[in-house]
Amino acid sequence: MSITGVIERKGLGPGTWALVADSGETYELKNAPDELKKSDLKVKVEGEIREDVMSFAMIGPVLEVKSFKVLD
């Protein structure tokens, strides 16, 4: 699946990186590369929703990052 949105750092527990989609939904990022871990970065992320993964943050569906593109 492909999701466009903005990267945010969420301070829950040890902290986690999230993608806030243009639709308003928040996804917790799994396996996000360091280049993607920058607040306010506008991106298009290709990935897969992982129903078999639990997290401490519980901020939304867990999105396993396959690839991404930084947008202007």
SS3 36: helix
Mean pLDDT rounded to a whole number for the chain: 92
The 10s digit of each residue's pLDDT in 42-64 is 999 999 999 988 777 778 899 99
CB 1 within 8 A of CB 46: yes
Q: Give the Cα separation of 7 and 30 in Å (integer).
A: 13
All domains of the chain in start order, with CATH: 2-70 (2.40.50)
* This prediction's pTM: 0.89
Pairing of strands 16-21, 26-30: antiparallel
CB 40 within 8 A of CB 6: yes
> According to the model, what pLDDT value does residue 13 have?
64
Q: Give the Cα separation of 72 and 58 in Å (integer).
A: 29
